């Protein structure tokens, strides 16, 4: 309402929000696009959208098991998966306002 005062239905320009939440080993992505603020008229044809991409595991964390006489002295990280990191770079690259470095960023992203 602050961005578009007086608008009661379809927005002139959609408002997009990208959220990344992380734990020690996983990333979850949420993307939201607000197209209308008319929540009462579901037949209008214009809808708001939300996308969830959850459970993107970066790596597995293996804790030492001294009762098994494990030779690992500390915590180890295994099964590295770079796909969640690629999604992170794509999300950041999509919302970043990069001027001269945008081409370099896209080239780096393609390399991954």
- Is residue 20 a part of any domain in this protein? yes
Q: Does residue 11 surpass a pLDDT of 50?
A: yes
* More confidently predicted of 35 and 102: 35
> Does residue 4 belong to any structural domain of this protein?
no
Q: Which domain holds residue 17?
A: 10-111
What does the pLDDT read at residue 29? Answer: 94
CB–CB of 84/56 below 8 Å? yes
The answer to which of 4-8, 17-21, 65-69 has the lowest mean pLDDT is 65-69
In a domain, 106, yes or no: yes
Q: Is residue 16 part of a domain?
A: yes
Q: With pLDDT > 90 as the criterion, what percentage of the chain qualifies?
A: 21
DSSP secondary structure, 11-26, as one string = EEEEEEEEEEEE-SSE
Q: Report the distance separating Cα 17 and Cα 98, nearest Å.
A: 18
Domain assignment of residue 3, yes or no: no
**91: in domain:** yes
Distance CA(24)–CA(112), nearest Å, equals 22
Is residue 102 in a domain?
A: yes
Number of domains into which the chain is organized: 1
pLDDT digits (tens, 9 = 90+) for 52-99: 999 999 988 776 666 666 565 666 778 889 899 888 888 887 765 544
In a domain, 5, yes or no: no
């Amino acid at each position: 309402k602050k961005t578009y005062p007086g608008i009661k239905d379809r927005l002139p320009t959609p408002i997009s929000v990208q959220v990344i939440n992380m734990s020690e080993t996983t990333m979850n992505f949420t993307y939201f696009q607000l197209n209308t603020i008319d929540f009462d008229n579901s037949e209008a044809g214009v809808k708001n959208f939300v996308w969830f991409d959850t459970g993107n595991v970066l790596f597995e964390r293996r804790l030492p098991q001294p009762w098994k006489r494990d030779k690992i002295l500390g915590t180890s990280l295994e099964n590295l998966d770079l796909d969640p990191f690629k999604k992170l770079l794509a999300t950041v690259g999509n919302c970043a306002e990069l001027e001269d470095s945008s081409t370099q960023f896209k080239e780096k992203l393609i390399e991954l």
